A = this chain, B = another copy of it.
Amino acid sequence: MVAESTPAPRADRPRRPSRRGRLPGRQDWSSWPHYQQAAAGFRGYWYPVAFSSRITNKPTAVTLLGERIMVMRDRGTVYALKDRCPHRGVPLSYGNQQFPGTVSCVYHGWTFDLRTGDLAAAITDGPNSPICGKVTQPTFETAERLGMVWLFVGDGEDAPPIDEQLPEELVGNAAVVGARIQPREGNWRFAAENGYDEGHAKYLHRTALWRLFKAMPVHNDTRIVKRGRWIYRVQDNQYWEADFPGLGRWSGKAWYKVDPTRHDKNKVNRNIGNTGGAAKVNEVIAAQDFPGFASISMPGVLRIAYPGFIHYEFYVPVDADNHLYVGVMVNFARGVATLPFYAKYLGAIRWLFHGQFSGQDKWMVEVTDAPPERLYRPDESLLQWRKLAEDVTEERVGRLKEQGITAEDGKPEVTR
């Protein structure tokens, strides 16, 4: 840089005070001890980890709640074993299959029964190897739903049926699914809190292409309503413009955006309804009688009931610093009615909603850094979610205790 420099300060610039600030707030999450401890996720749940089509008879390595797990398919069924050969610590996922129903470690050919985890053979020690029958590899229960493989990570208790954990409307109804699985940086709790957060959508996402032609309110009156396993955000009033004293007017509306105070909701819904299966979706939503648009349940499942489709987000803990974003768009069309659904998903939702819109959330989740934190009125949604997580976990810990099992949420950082 080259420049001329005037030696004296300009008189018209006010001297800036240096102020130490007033930043009181929550320094930790000790009022939710289970939640605070669950940096690497809550144990006792089913989590989606991969598309079913990706799990073949070649082993795949996944990390879930800090545990390294080998997943592979054998004659149609998916199996999951701890991904560390107990012999010398080499990942089993580097191995392959030498005998049906087994996986063999690449290093010395230790061969494990996929179903039981038992060491079935140590090839390089011959058929009479005395070690057989003395080693059992830990296994995980698996399931397949919504085109994805799910694993149960618990503390030794029996896994509940996965259908008890899935959103109710997905169990009895055949669904068409558009999904995106994306590894993301940042703690899973920031992702879940971001998803259910009442406050940010109207500000952060106002510039998203997904919202390009839709006005966003400036602020809302919101209540959180608990029903069953879910808590719902109920919007009582929406304010499309506001005057901030001393600052000016601020609006989520624009000339090129649909005016929400005037447009005919039914008409819009009818239009969306023309994309396949929307009528069935609206019927399902009506049957469920959701009290609000957005809901969340353990262990981090967000549900947004749009007219015409339902959007889910599963925040899958990988470890304390990473999670898997699983975005799922569901519709209940059948037959040819699925075609417009696919067209809408692949032509718009995948790029605008699961893509750029959700990418704004990704960015925030990466840089959120709390506690310390200073919450405000719209964070009631966060507080209720944390309370839900805390209460449900307290209940689980008690239930396990009766079975003589100690819950280990947050214990293992990445295990070997």
Question: Which residues of A pack against B, CB within 8 Å?
Answer: 1-7, 9, 13-25, 51-53, 76-77, 79-80, 82, 84, 86-91, 94, 98-99, 102, 106-111, 115-117, 120-127, 129-131, 134-147, 152, 154, 156, 158-159, 162-163, 170-181, 199-200, 202-204, 218-219, 239, 242-248, 250, 338, 342, 345-346, 364, 367-370, 372-378, 416
* A135 CB contacts on chain B under 8 angstroms: 22-23, 374
Contact A127 B245, beta carbon cutoff 8 Å: yes
Closest to A245 in B: B127
Contact B117 A21, beta carbon cutoff 8 Å: yes
Contact A88 B1, beta carbon cutoff 8 Å: no
Contact A108 B219, beta carbon cutoff 8 Å: no
- Report Cα–Cα, A159/B345, bound state, in Å: 58
- Report Cα–Cα, A117/B18, bound state, in Å: 9
* A174 CB contacts on chain B under 8 angstroms: 4-7
Contact B146 A90, beta carbon cutoff 8 Å: no
Contact A368 B89, beta carbon cutoff 8 Å: yes
The 28 listed contacts between A and B (C-beta, < 8 Å) are A1-B180, A2-B346, A3-B146, A4-B147, A4-B175, A4-B176, A4-B177, A5-B170, A5-B174, A5-B177, A16-B77, A16-B80, A16-B140, A18-B159, A23-B136, A23-B138, A25-B86, A88-B368, A88-B370, A90-B364, A107-B200, A123-B219, A123-B242, A123-B244, A124-B218, A126-B242, A130-B377, A135-B374
Contact A248 B124, beta carbon cutoff 8 Å: no
| Complex copy number for this chain | 3
- Report Cα–Cα, A123/B87, bound state, in Å: 58
Closest to A369 in B: B89
Contact A345 B2, beta carbon cutoff 8 Å: yes
Which 3 pairs, one residue from A and one from B, show the smallest C-beta to C-beta distance?
A89-B369, A21-B138, A3-B147
Selected contact of A179 from candidates B3, B91, B172, CB within 8 Å: B3
Q: With both chains docked as a complex, state the minimum distance between the C-beta of A342 and any C-beta of chain B, in angstroms.
A: 5
Selected contact of A244 from candidates B82, B87, B120, B181, CB within 8 Å: B120
Contact B88 A373, beta carbon cutoff 8 Å: yes
Contact A7 B121, beta carbon cutoff 8 Å: no
Q: With both chains docked as a complex, state the minimum distance between the C-beta of A6 and any C-beta of chain B, in angstroms.
A: 7
Closest to A130 in B: B377
Count chain B CB atoms within 10 A of each CB in A86, A88, A91, A243 and give the residue with the most. Answer: A88
Contact A199 B124, beta carbon cutoff 8 Å: yes
Q: With both chains docked as a complex, state the minimum distance between the C-beta of A139 and any C-beta of chain B, in angstroms.
A: 5
Q: With both chains docked as a complex, state the minimum distance between the C-beta of A161 and any C-beta of chain B, in angstroms.
A: 9
Assuming the A-B contacts A2-B178, A202-B124, are A17 and B139 also in contact, with contact meaning beta carbons closer than 8 angstroms in the complex?
yes
Contact A123 B250, beta carbon cutoff 8 Å: yes
